[in-house]
Amino acid sequence: MHLLHASGVEKAFGDRAILRGCDLHVSAGDRIGLVGVNGSGKSTLLSILAGELQPDHGRVLREGSHALLTQEPALPGHTVGDTLEDAIAWHRRLVADYEAALSAGTDASALQDQLDREGWTIDHKVAATVDHLGCPPRDAPLARLSGGERRRVALARTLLQRPDLLMLDEPTNHLDADTCEWLQQLLVGWRGAVLLVTHDRYLLEAVAGRIVEVEDGHTVSYEGSYADYLITRAERQARLALAEDRRLALIAHEAEWASRSPAARSTKQKARLKRLDDLMAQRPLKRQDEFSLDLRTGFRKGGAMMELHGVRKAFGDKVVLDGVDLVIAPGEVLGVLGENGAGKSTLLSILAGRLEPDAGTIHRAPRLQPAILDQHRTGLDDDSTVYEAAGNGNDHVFIGDNPIHVASFLGRFHFGRDTHDQHVGALSGGERARLLLAKLMLQGANLLLLDEPTNDLDLATLGILEAALLDFDGACVVITHDRAFLDRVCDRVIAFEGAGRIVSYASRLQHLAAVEERAAAATRDAPPREAPKPEAPAPRRPEAGRKKLSYKETRELEGLPAQIEALETELSQVETVLSDPASYQPGSTVDVAALSARAQELPEHIEAAMERWAELEDRAGG
C-alpha cells in the first residue's frame, strides 16, 4: 500500500531556498530515518509531507491516516485529558459504528475484525502510554505545562492515534534514557510505517531500514541501516568530490583555451564554448563544512575538583538529594541518569553554585571555574548579534593569556562570517548551543555542567562535541538521554534510584544490567497471585444462548492461566533482548527482525488468551 508520494517539493523562506526539489516515497511497513545538518530543512519537509505547510512547488499525494509530532506541538483542548481523548476519538467512533451496525441489523463483520485487531478496549493502552512517558495528570491544564511536559503529552497523543504513517520530529527530546529504550521497542514493533527525524543514533539504528538525507535542498536515499548509511554516504561523497575536482580542472583548462585562442571565436569552435558554458552553469558541489570544537583551557590536573559529603536537598516534602557523596576528578566525564523530575538538574545547579544545599558540605578546588549549559539555553541576549555575543562588544577575546580575533574564534565553533551580523534570537537551537559552548570556553570553565547538550544538535555536530569532550582537560558532568553519547564519552555514571539516593556505576550498561537484575529478583521473590480479569470487551452480536462448558473446554480453562503467564514471560524476555544495544552490533547472532515480529505478535496472543479465559470462566460460573 502506498501511503505517501512526494515529488519535486520546493520551499523557500524569503530569499533563502530550503528545499530545491525533494522526492520521497513511503509504503506500508517502511521504516525511514530522515537526516541532515541543522537548517537543512528536515522539519520543513515533515510539515509539508503532513499537510501542515504548503510547498511552493511540487506535489504530495497521501493515502491512509497519518500523524505528525512536531518540535513545537499544538495540543487540542484545555487539559491533558482533553488531548488524550482527542487522540483516541478514532476508537470511540469505531465502537459506536459497530454498535450502530448491530442495532440496525447490518453486517458488522468488517468492523468486528478491525476491533479484534485494534482491541475492544483502549483505556488500558492510554494508561500504559501515559505512564511510560511520564505525562502529567489528566486534569492538568495545558496552559501550565512546561515545554518538556507538552512534548511528552504530544508524543502520547501521536502514538495513540495509531496512524498508518507515523511521523516523528525529535521524539526523544525531554525523555530520559529508560523512556528512550521503551520508545525504541515500541517503534521496532510498530504496525504501520515510520518516518523519523532523530539525533538518537541507537534509535535510528534499531528502527530505520532506509535513510533519506536532506542535502543541499534535495533528498538522497540510502538503503540499509544508519551504520550502512555512514559507509555508503562516505563513498558517495568521495566520488562526488572527485567528479567536482575534475569539473573544475576542465573549466580551468577550457577557459584558458578560450581566452588565448583566436579560433575560439570561430563558428567551428562554438560547440566547445557551449561545453564550457554548460560546465560553469552546473551547481557546484556543496562540500561538508569541516570544523572542530576545542574546549581546552590549559587546566593543570591536580587533586579532586569538587567533593560532596552528605549533601541533602528537599523541596517541601519531596527529597531529591539525601546524603549524597560525590567526588569529581579532573579529566573525567560523569554521566547522570534518572527519571524526569528525579533531581538531575537540581544536582547541576548545586554543583554550579546557583543553589545551596539544605545540609552537607561541598569542597571546591581553589582554581575551580564551573559553567553550566542548561536545557533552556539561557545566558544569551537575543537582541545581540553573534559577533557581539561572542566578544562582549570587543574585537578580541582571550583564550588563557592569548588574544584571538572574534571572527577567528567564532570560526572554531562553525560560525562563518556571513552569520556574524545575525541576531542571536534568530539562531536555531543547535546554533545557540554552539554559541553558548563558545562563551563557556571564554569563561575559562574547567568544570562543564551540561544539561541535555545533544538537544537540537545534528548528528555531525554531535560527533564533534563528543570528540571535544574526550580531549577536554577539565571535568564534565552531563545529563543526557542520548545513550550513544553516554556510552562514548562518559568514564562513569551516577543514577538517581529513588528517595534522593544516588548510586555510582562504571557505565550506563552496568546500570541497566543492575536494574534488570533487581526487577528479575523482585519477580522471583513475589508471591504468586491470581491473574487479573481483563476488562469486558465491547458488546458483540448477542448469542442465542449460553452453553455450559464441555470437558475439552474445562481442560482448556484450567490451562489458560499458565499459557498466559508463559506468553507474558516470553514477551518480557524478547523485550529485554531488543532493548540491549549489543543485539544490534555487527557480529551479533540475534535475529532482530524475527524478534521484532514476535514482539508484535505476542500482545495479540496474550489479549486473545485473556479474552478466551474470561469467556470460559464466565460460562463456567453461569
**Residue 397's pLDDT is what?**
79
In angstroms, rounded to a whole number, what is the distance separating the alpha carbons of residues 31 and 89? Answer: 26
Q: Give φ, ψ of 472 to 5 degrees.
A: -65, 135
Average pLDDT over residues 145-172: 93
Provide CB contacts within 8 A for 470, sequence distance 6+: 333, 488, 489
Q: Which of 346, 353, 307 is nearest to 336 (CA)?
A: 346
What pLDDT score was predicted for residue 543?
Answer: 42
Kindly state the cell numbers that stand for 10.
520546493
Grid coordinates representing 365 are: 578546588
Helix (H) or strand (E) holding 15: none
Residue 275: what pLDDT? Answer: 64
Span 108-117, average pLDDT:
86
Predicted confidence (pLDDT) at residue 280 exceeds the cutoff of 50: yes
Task: Give the residue from 381, 412, 408 showing the smallest Cα distance to 396.
Answer: 408
Percentage of the chain lying above the pLDDT 90 cut: 34
- Are 488 and 466 a contacting pair, CB within 8 Å? yes
pLDDT for residue 465: 85
* 586 burial via Cβ count (<10 Å: 0-12, 13-18, 19+): exposed
Residues facing 364 on adjacent strands: 306
Q: Is the pLDDT of residue 289 over 60?
A: no
- The span from the CA of 194 to the CA of 163, in Å, is 10
Task: Please indicate whether residue 295 or residue 606 has the higher confidence score (pLDDT).
Answer: 606
- Report whether 483 contacts 454 (CB < 8 A): no
φ/ψ (deg, to 5) at 121: -125, 150
Residue predicted with more confidence, 517 or 153: 153
H helix or E strand, kind and range, residue 531: none
Cα 118 to Cα 160, 162, 176: the distances in Å are: 11, 9, 28
Q: What is the largest CA-CA distance in the chain?
A: 107
Q: What is the mean pLDDT of residues 498-519?
A: 88
The percent of the chain in helix, strand and coil, each rounded to the nearest 5, is: 45, 20, 35
**All cell numbers assigned to 15:** 530569499
Rounded CA-CA distance 471/453 in Å is: 17
Average pLDDT for residues 163-179, to the nearest whole number?
Answer: 91
Question: Identical fold at 306-513 and 531-621?
Answer: no
pLDDT tens sequence across 317-376: 888 999 999 999 988 999 999 888 788 989 999 999 889 999 999 999 888 889 888 877
* pLDDT at residue 544 in the model: 40
Provide the pLDDT confidence category of residue 62 given band limits of 50, 70 and 90.
very high
| Cα–Cα nearest to 469, from 292, 295, 298 | 295
Query: Measured at the alpha carbon of residue 603, what is the angle toward residues 598 and 605, in degrees to the nearest 5?
Result: 85
Task: Please give the residue that has the higher pLDDT: either 102 or 379.
Answer: 102
Instruction: Compute the mean pLDDT over every residue in the chain, rounded to the nearest whole number.
Output: 83
Q: Does residue 281 or residue 93 have the better pLDDT?
A: 93
Least confident of 28-37, 57-66, 433-442: 433-442
Would you say the pTM of this structure is higher than 0.95? no
The per-residue pLDDT for 78 is 94
Residues 6+ apart with CB under 8 A from 119: 125, 607
Confidence band, pLDDT 50/70/90 cuts, at residue 153: very high
pLDDT of residue 541: 43
3 state SS of 73: coil
CATH number of 306-513: 3.40.50.300
Q: What is residue 539's DSSP assignment?
A: P
What's the rounded Cα separation, in Å, for the pair 593 and 153? 30
The whole-number pLDDT of residue 284 equals 61
Q: Which of 112-121, 346-355, 372-381, 520-529 has the highest mean pLDDT?
A: 346-355
**In terms of pLDDT, which residue wins out, 444 or 251?**
444
- At 537, the amino acid letter reads P
CA atoms of 184 and 181, how far apart (whole Å): 5
Rounded Cα distance between 613 and 622, Å, is 14
pLDDT value of residue 61: 95
Report whether 328 contacts 475 (CB < 8 A): yes
User: Mean per-residue pLDDT for 66-82?
Assistant: 93
Burial (CB count within 10 angstroms: exposed 0-12, middle 13-18, buried 19+), residue 21 = middle
**Poorest-pLDDT segment among 16-20, 438-442, 485-489, 497-501:** 438-442
**Confidence grade of residue 165 (pLDDT, cut at 50, 70, 90):** very high
- CB distance 4 to 180 below 8 Å: no
Cell numbers representing residue 553 in the block: 473446554
Q: What is the mean pLDDT of residues 50-58?
A: 94
Average pLDDT over residues 80-94: 94
Domain 531-621 top-level CATH class: mainly alpha
The whole-angstrom separation of Cα 411 and Cα 438 is 10
Q: What nine digits make up the cell of 157? A: 497523543
Collapsing DSSP to helix, strand or coil, 212 comes out as strand
Q: What is the pLDDT of residue 399?
A: 67
Higher pLDDT, 175 or 398: 175
Higher-confidence position of 577 and 94: 94
Q: Give the residue ranges of DSSP H helices in 134-176.
A: 147-160
What are the structural domain ranges in the chain? 1-65+163-224, 76-161, 231-281, 306-513, 531-621
Query: What are the DSSP calls for 291-357, one per residue?
Result: --------PPP-S-SEEEEEEEEEETTEEEEEEEEEEE-TT-EEEEE--TTSSHHHHHHHHHTSS--
E strand or H helix at 405, and its extent? strand 402-405
- Determine what percent of the chain is predicted with pLDDT higher than 70: 85
Minimal CA–CA distance to 581: which of 204, 31, 167? 204
Q: Give tens-digit pLDDT for 228-278.
A: 888 888 887 777 777 767 767 776 766 666 666 555 455 546 665 666 666
d(CA 210, CA 312) in angstroms, rounded, equals 48
For residue 81, give the H/E element and its range: helix 80-87
- Tell me the per-residue pLDDT of 529-580, one tens digit each, with 9 for 90 and over: 554 444 444 444 444 444 566 767 777 777 877 788 788 778 778 777 766 6
Over the stretch 596-605, which tens digit does the pLDDT of each residue have?
Answer: 778 778 877 8
Residue 347: all three cell numbers together:
544536582
Residue range 1-65+163-224 in CATH 3.40.50.300: yes
Q: Comparing 3-7, 78-82, 128-132, 315-319, which segment has the lowest mean pLDDT?
A: 315-319
pLDDT mean over 492-516: 90
Q: Angle CA(206)–CA(226)–CA(183) in degrees, nearest 5?
A: 30
d(CA 476, CA 330): 9
Place of cell 500482545: 603
User: Which of the residue ranges 196-210, 273-287, 511-525, 607-621 has the most confident prediction, judged by mean pLDDT?
Assistant: 196-210
Residues 599 and 604: their CA atoms lie apart, in Å, by: 10
